[in-house]
Structure 1
């Protein structure tokens, strides 16, 4: 025999309900608690019959009406029933089961709580002013402001204030016009004028536009005792964001809204005559600019999640160089006026959008962004930042855009942002709209005084406050512990990453209810000491004073010299919400949400964990996702996840993206939920419910079950209540189609119905709680495992429960991180880090292949010595043209000559004179004069027979006058045997040398196998240069066999390089090269007196009495013996002539552009490849300076070319790179230390 299960249905649930449910007993039993059969923990899955037994397991019972918690239980029971539609199967549509009976005036729990808080505060603020006599001054000032608001300013007064603000801005910035309303103001603003306008708007009202200013903790140095806050620049402020523009751009209505704003501004300012057609065009242009600012000059949200890319410390001088469209010093000095701070060029700012800022600057300066449209944009934001009267018809026309419009940039408002489709919440009839408006005003402007009033009202006794804090603290810590346990079970997270996550968990700061300092009268008064409002002040006077205080409060952090406060709530504590902040690794749970239905110690734990437990766990999870993992435990930007864990997280998140992307609230053919856009919030929802449920079960295991809810709600067991509590706080009356569309397209979170659906589909515990059959909507066959996985053995744990991760075997203590406030050092370290990160492939095993470990991702020359040399040249170029450096140049004879050379180079580059002036022919004529022979290659017919005098003249001319070394290479070096001049009569510590031949290319070029490959190309280049010369020299005539002559000359060069020059190995033996001799001991083939006569006087004086060292005492004489014995002076003459014109190819005037380009290319390549006694040839390959500065590539090239005056050019570089004595001393001492260490290391090696 079996006993039929009885379903307990409370009073008020009609028997007719069974007929309307349309489901069987088996389905009903999934919803209702079997009270008279068994404990709710062991519900029979069949839901039909149980065997008869003599020992009946006791059933859970509803709370008794004499229990102190009964009132809270009854309230939650009533709340659930007011929303629920129990005719719906929860396994098919749990959201509608929980929320399906919503009424139009029944707001979402967050809005209801906000309304209740506001009404509580209004009730207090409506009390007589003498009620506040014993309150601290800030609370009294708040009361005065509320009263002044309630009885003061009409719409006309507000309009007059807005007009005054606008006109004050115009008067202070006459250089920036508003052509949409003032047609004659069309002149483009200068960089100085634009900067002053932007700075004034910030300092006067906190309004940012073209450059958004943000004050935040220094992401990498927030604990610095010198000050943990810093000023950031961010992308421009726009009307609408990228999601709107990329998905639903309503061009017509956006333009219409802008035009309506312009017209409202005209009415405000008393402008009666407007040009409708021009205003429409201005509106169209402004709409396009706003689109461009959002799409072209701002980075997409997904990219911005990689926070490291937005941390770009720059000095004001650095910003000025990078983005000169405004004068940054002026802008910041104007903006920081409220805190009486003046910045100089070294002031440090962090640019979030470095590349976009540079692009914006370029397009403003080039005119790509119209100055007219830009000015209209600036004034449009001023208009919309203040009260602007507009007819109701105008407001309603653009009302559908409000869901997409970005919130106005607010500096000091701590109010919670409204939801996209905020529901109308019914409130107390005696509370008027004006009271609500004024309460919002004081909540935003007197945040902490308002918090003080709210705390005193809700918890008037210290004991009550402490009890709440203790209860909330225990509750929140249970969530943190549950999340840690959740991390324990993840099989996809590596031990190293788990260790990082545990360290972050251990350092979480819990900010509960309110900051304690607001209860201290002295501290509260000190915070508001800058506020000087009086009871007799009008509302508008007080409003202006509080606006000024808000700007001051916002900016003051950057100069107060204190580390960032991790106990900061980051907003008002009268809001019903919880927040997680990566920059502090803190969770703030304000007093406003420590209330039913979110949290009440007298409520069933299941409801608390399902509501506030989920909300807080959602926030907690954000600290460990792909964004949160970039921040370490104390709030510094320092990632702790490894590549494998990151990949695994991304796979998990992609499953969620795909899942939510299938949700289409508006039906077929309409936009669906954007899984990518909502990924972060969806993953946090899924992780949050996992954590909250684990915490709840741990609490239940420790404290036992709570009583059931009273009445009809007693049918729900604890697990079911958990999920009801989770869904109920997100219940809302069905939004309009437009509001739903706005949320789908613009919001970062899924619509509540689908947020609940997605999270519960991935949570089998919901399936168990409601016995949902597999395959039902809320229990799909396949689902995503989010922040959960099968438990594995894992890594061994230390005594703190952390995975044991091998440390450095030498146990070196962690190196202290570089402070970003030390700009130079931080930038240098960051540059090195970027170089190695971009080059290394850390998937390689360095023990197996260290080269590819270090260089496996190298993408080409980005920071090679070549690029470093380019950077040096760029710095020299910037210094040469810097107006501030010109007095230094004028004060130095050497620098003046350097500048003359630079200017001449620039002039030649701008307009070449080579075609008009023959610079090469005089050199050739002198060459012929000193040679005193015909040149066979270009038509010389006479017999060629070189004398010693010919040798001496032509070699000396080439070497000393033209810098072209050929058969011998003169030079000066230290005296190798007496560098300290111990024998002053014979040396001054230096020595004159004559070294081996210098060929056009290095010796290796001519070695057999290489020569066969290289010769054809080399010969072709020589032929083209010779042909080009012959075309411009009317006396020249190429012989029929000029190709053969060139070939013979190049073969001669090969012989000189291979046979009569030392090998690298031979040249490393320096003793063999020390061969001092007097001049008359040199080979008689050359008249050496003639040769040295072309050298400076110092050399001619030297050779009269002192020795000259011949480096190659065997090869050099042998070369001249070979040349004489070969009896082919014609080939030698041709070779010397080829060397002359090859070294001067850039001076050959060409008849066509192709020829000119080639000659210039040959000259450039040669200038940057040869070894020359003329200084300044630094590069192995010719760099493209155009990549450094497209606007003045010639200027950069000339900055490189002036290296012929090496010491003067070096002075310019030193002045630029090390401008102060302190800088120079620093580099000297640093490099001295490096060199001493190197020497000591070498000594150590030798001693071993």
Structure 2
């Protein structure tokens, strides 16, 4: 849901044998609901805590019909200041902080007779926390890695251009060192045949957040000087007494110029939403002919795959997502003076930049101006927070096991699974009334909805001490209590081996590749799978002590959001089995596009004062906006069904007697998005994040949904939050 898109690109899961529930009759939102006053006021500790959390976040002086975000979150936003080490503060981040504190506690417990993988996770955390040892090593671990990479010419290392093999070097860097400096490569499920894994190539990442930071004059002027300073300061620190300031400054300029050329050849995000157009499957031999590249693609791929001992031939199929960029990469490289030396300097820089967090405090300080320019932060997070996050990232299942056993109520898993079914039925109930779809497309959409596979909480094997899968999975990771930097490299190679080792193997649809201990949720189009890790299944998203109305508004909306991703502008291109396959009639797809354009225009018209008055990007955020708007409608419909099925009424909270359950539903929805941002991060968010800012994730879907205006007795066509129908947008 907020991801980094992370990341995320290869989340999995599909259960084609799942029983499809029957589509129920439509329950309209005007169905009489049980009286809000039927139930007795709940005075348990949980209910009191929930009531306090709700009221303390609100600005009751604001008018919900004018600015619902301020009404729901005004006090929260005032009370929660953004610290120097933060780029933003939000309900999401607050829960992430709570999870991190739990991880700190469980990782700091003494090692006893735990499984080997858990011991490694705890030793990894200890090595991260030992800042005295990290500082004492200085640049030594980094210099060792640089030597392994073939040296860094800019800091004075010897370099023989005649022995530089571009193709093999790129392959080595993309696999062993994990930099996507010129070409991205991974192994994942084939979009057109989701049961099979295949090698995939794409345009790269960049040193600054994305291509706009190189090509937009304002962003470049605000960020490039600090990026260049970071580069120069790091190179100078690594070179030490032998640093050549003239040479270092010249190389920094060359690298930035090189990245501008790369950025100019990359397609913008707005042109990369059509999976059908992006997908290009061909053999390696055909790739070589198509691109006419200086890169020998067989040599490149074999160099990368050597980490798992796999060899491919020129007849191996690959999927290419950026053929035009791959055609241009030769000119980008060859058009540079002393280009072999430049490429080596650049690739090493990208690895060093990616490893800065794991170095001594002196070396980490070189990036401070850059992080301030891109995120607004002026100090580092508390060390325990850094180390708990790093441990969770590198040992997701062992750390997830500790979290689940310590803090995850098992009943939350069952409650979430039931809500998934409720939301699935709610989505399906909309289909018969969607007059913009023909009958066959409606049937296809219903089939896909039935096949969505929910993955909830955590995989069972991580808490089963008789199952040695977790220890086997991390058997090749070496962890020393005094070698944090080396531990990172071992974990990084392990991750690459895990990915590349899937080639030739069938896709494992039950595989978890996200930590259970994270506050996030996901949809995978290639698996038609929705994922809700244990970390998000707690207050304020789900709380057994708050009314069901608020649970449906909070975690229910998240569930609806992820289900709707299967039917947004990207997910709708995949069928129920995770294959890139057009299941739409031409007329239904045209109507879908018209409705989508309404939403693009609606969000693009919004300016955000926190981000220097810049406008939201309705094209880049379309998928998330469709999911937000559909998710809230589905969650509300599911709650209406719950009310009919529970005539005894919902929980009533102390001190909230004047609120109806419908109003509490919308408060539960809004309060998961409370938060504020620093200006630098707000600008970055509008540039790189596929989600709209939290404020607009509350305001726009509420304005587009007439049941909100009705719930708060707003005046349609008069109040901001209850516009006339012609001024709203709806896809699902």
> TM-score normalised by the shorter chain: which range applies?
0.7 to 0.9
Could you tell me which residue of structure 1 aligns to residue 592 of structure 2? 649
| Structure-1 separation of matches of 2:379 and 2:52 | 20
Q: 1:762 and 1:379, CA in 2 relative to 1: closer, same or farther beyond 3 A?
A: same
Deviation at 1:609, TM superposition (A): 0.9
Taking the aligned partners of 1:423 and 1:640, their CA distance within structure 2 comes to: 50
| 1:311 correspondence with 2:260 | no
Whole-Å Cα distance in 2 between the matches of residues 154 and 75 of structure 1? 42
Question: Structure 1 residue 120 and structure 2 residue 96: aligned?
Answer: no
Residues in 1 aligned to 2:317 and 2:80: alpha-carbon distance in whole angstroms: 52
Q: Distance in 2 between matches of 1:346 and 1:117?
A: 47
Residue 310 of structure 2: aligned partner: 341
User: d(CA) in 1 for partners of 2:377 and 2:538?
Assistant: 20
Secondary structure (helix, strand or coil) at the match of 1:222 reads strand
Query: Are positions 1:73 and 2:47 aligned together?
Result: yes
Q: CA deviation at 1:366?
A: 5.8
Aligned to 2:390: 441
Is 1:741 equivalent to 2:683 in the alignment? yes
1:526 Cα deviation from its structure 2 partner: 5.3
Question: Does the 8 A contact of 2:149 with 2:348 survive in 1?
Answer: no
Instruction: Write the distance in 2 (CA, Å) between the matches of 1:288 and 1:148.
Output: 38
Shift of 1:310: 2.6
Q: Does 1:689 align with 2:632?
A: yes
Tell me: CA distance 1:183–1:458, structure 2 relative to 1, closer, same or farther (3 Å): closer
Find the aligned partners of 2:56 and 2:654 in 1 and give their Cα distance: 13
Contact kept in structure 2, 1:219 and 1:635, CA below 8 Å: yes
User: Deviations for 1:784-815, whole angstroms, at most 9, x for unmatched residues?
Assistant: 24135xxxxxxxxxxxxxxxxxxxxxxxxxxx
Cα 1:256–1:111 change in 2 (3 A) is closer
Are 2:645 and 1:702 equivalent residues in the alignment?
yes
Q: CA RMSD in A?
A: 3.0
Once residues 519 and 252 of structure 1 are traced to their aligned partners in structure 2, the CA distance between those partners, rounded to angstroms, is 48
Which position in structure 2 is the counterpart of 1:97?
71
Encode CA deviations 1:564-611: one digit per residue, 9 max, x unaligned: 223334411111111111010000011111111101234211111111
C-alpha distance in structure 2 between counterparts of 1:574 and 1:706, whole Å: 33
Q: Which residue of 2 aligns with 1:201?
A: 173
Correspondence for 1:452 among 386, 401, 406: 401
Q: 1:903-931 CA distances to partner (integer Å, 9 max, x unpaired)?
A: xxxxxxxxxxxxxxxxxxxxxxxxxxxxx
Alpha carbons of 1:669 and 1:342: their partners in 2 closer, same or farther (altered >3 Å)?
A: closer
SS at match of 1:213: strand
Describe the SS at the equivalent of 2:532: strand
Q: Residue 312 of structure 2 aligns to a residue in which SS? A: coil
> How far has the Cα of 1:668 moved from its partner?
12
Question: Residue 155 and residue 714 in structure 1: after superposition, are their counterparts in 2 closer, same or farther (change >3 A)?
Answer: farther
1:588 aligned counterpart, secondary structure: strand
Q: 2:259 aligns with which of 263, 273, 290?
A: 290
CA distance in 2: counterparts of 1:206 and 1:477, whole angstroms: 39
Indicate if the aligned counterparts of 1:233 and 1:352 stay in contact, CA closer than 8 A: yes
Closer, same or farther in 2 for the Cα pair 1:64/1:182, shift >3 Å? closer
Cα displacement (A) at 1:394: 5.0
1:379 is displaced (CA, Å) by 2.5
Which residue of structure 1 lines up, in the alignment, with residue 453 of structure 2?
A: 509
The answer on 1:573 being equivalent to 2:516 is: yes
Aligned to 2:206: 238
CA contact (8 A) 1:708 1:716 kept: no
Moved more, 604-613 or 201-210: 201-210
The Cα shift of 1:530 comes to 3.0
SS in 1 for 2:240: coil
Q: CA deviation at 1:696?
A: 0.9
Q: Which has the higher contact order (CA 8 A, sep 6+)?
A: 2
Contact 1:760 1:766 (C-alpha < 8 Å) held by counterparts: yes
Question: How far 1:285 moved relative to its partner?
Answer: 3.4
**Residue in structure 1 matched with residue 496 of structure 2 by the alignment:** 551
Residue pair 1:631, 1:638 contacting (<8 A) in 2 also: yes
Provide closer, same or farther for how the CA distance between residues 622 and 158 of structure 1 changes in structure 2, counting only shifts above 3 A. Answer: farther
1:371 CA drift (Å): 5.1
Unaligned runs of 5+ in 2: 1-30, 83-88
Give SS of 1:233's match.
strand
Which position in structure 1 is the counterpart of 2:3?
Answer: none
Q: CA deviation at 1:318?
A: 2.7
Instruction: Map 1:729-768 to 2 at 5 A.
Output: 729-732=672-675, 734-768=676-710
Whether 2:93 is the aligned partner of 1:111: answer yes
- Taking a change above 3 Å as real, the CA distance of residues 457 and 617 of structure 1, as seen in their structure-2 partners, is same
Q: Secondary structure at the match of 1:91?
A: coil
Residues 834-887 of structure 1: CA deviation (Å, up to 9, x unaligned): xxxxxxxxxxxxxxxxxxxxxxxxxxxxxxxxxxxxxxxxxxxxxxxxxxxxxx
Distance in 1 between residues matched to 2:439 and 2:162, nearest whole Å:
58
In 2: Cα distance, 1:586 partner to 1:58 partner: 36
1:139 correspondence with 2:118: yes
Given that residues 163 and 269 in structure 1 are in contact (C-alpha distance below 8 angstroms), is that contact kept between their aligned partners in structure 2? Answer: no
Query: Residue 141 of structure 1 aligns to a residue in which SS?
Result: helix
Report the alpha carbon displacement of residue 58 of structure 1 after superposing the two structures with TM.
9.4
* 8 Å contact from structure 2 (residues 73, 674) kept in 1: yes
Aligned-partner SS, 2:194: coil
Shift of 1:154: 1.8
Partner of 2:233: 263
Question: 3-state SS of the aligned residue for 2:690?
Answer: coil
Deviation of 1:483 after TM superposition, in Å, equals 0.6
1:457 CA drift (Å): 1.4
- Given the alignment of the two structures, is residue 627 of structure 1 paired with residue 570 of structure 2, yes or no? yes
Q: 2:544 aligns with which of 598, 601, 608?
A: 601
Contact 1:626–1:646, Cα closer than 8 Å, also in 2: no
Cα distance in 1 for residues equivalent to 2:168 and 2:282 = 20
CA contact (8 A) 1:60 1:708 kept: no
Residue 398 of structure 1 and its aligned partner are, at CA, apart by: 2.5
The answer to whether the 8 A contact 1:90-1:97 is kept is yes
The aligned counterpart of 1:873 is none
Cα deviation per residue 1:1012-1055 (whole Å; 9 max; x = unaligned)?
A: xxxxxxxxxxxxxxxxxxxxxxxxxxxxxxxxxxxxxxxxxxxx
Secondary structure of 2:282's partner?
A: strand
- The within-5 A match list for 1:1169-1248 is none
Distance 2:329 2:678 in 1: 39
Q: Normalized against structure 1, the TM-score is what?
A: 0.52
Which residues in structure 2 correspond to 1:839-988 (within 5 Å)? none
**1:255 touches 1:283 (CA, 8 Å); kept in 2?**
no
Residues 548 and 650, structure 2, Cα contact 8 Å, conserved in 1: no
8 A contact 2:519–2:535 mirrored in 1 = yes
Residue from 128, 133, 142 that aligns with 1:162: 142
Q: Deviation per CA, 1:385-438: give whole Å up to 9, x if none.
A: 2236657875443234324xxxxxxxxxxxxxxxxx89999xxxxxx9333232
Question: Within 2, Cα distance between the matches of 1:117 and 1:252?
Answer: 34
Distance, in Å, in 1 between the alignment partners of 2:202 and 2:256 is 21
Whether the aligned pair in 1 keeps the contact of 2:374 and 2:680 (CA below 8 Å) is no
Tell me the SS of whatever aligns to 2:65. Answer: helix
Distance 1:361 1:668 in 2: 37
> Mean Cα displacement is larger for which, 778-787 or 243-252?
243-252
Work out which of the two has the higher radius of gyration on C-alpha atoms and give 1 or 2: 1
Aligned in 2, Cα 1:398/1:139: closer, same or farther, shift over 3 Å?
Answer: closer
Distance 1:121 1:668 in 2: 33
The aligned counterpart of 1:254 is 224
Aligned partners of 1:108 and 1:423 also within 8 Å: no
Q: Are the structure 2 counterparts of residues 198 and 713 from structure 1 closer, same or farther at C-alpha, using a change threshold of 3 Å? A: same
| Aligned mates of 2:371, 2:481 — CA distance in 1 | 38
Paired with 1:42 and 1:455, the residues of 2 have a C-alpha distance of: 37
Q: Deviations over 1:246-273 (max 9, x none)?
A: 5443247414422431331232233534
Task: Work out the CA distance in 1 between the residues paired with 2:65 and 2:191.
Answer: 45
* 3-state secondary structure, aligned to 2:191: coil
Name the CA distance, whole Å, in 1 between partners of 2:140 and 2:490. Answer: 17
Task: Tell me which of 181, 187, 191 is aligned to 1:215.
Answer: 187
Instruction: Give the structure-2-normalised TM-score.
Output: 0.86
State the distance in 1 between where 2:723 and 2:586 align: 31
The offset of 1:214, in angstroms, is: 1.8
1 CA distance for matches of 2:690 and 2:390?
A: 28
Cα distance in 1 for partners of 2:339, 2:538 equals 53
For residues 482 and 424 of structure 1, the distance between their equivalents in structure 2, rounded to whole angstroms, comes to 46
Q: Counterparts of 2:538 and 2:701 in 1: how far apart (Å)?
A: 24
Show the counterpart of 2:270. Answer: 302
Check whether the contact 2:206–2:259 (CA below 8 A) recurs between aligned residues. yes
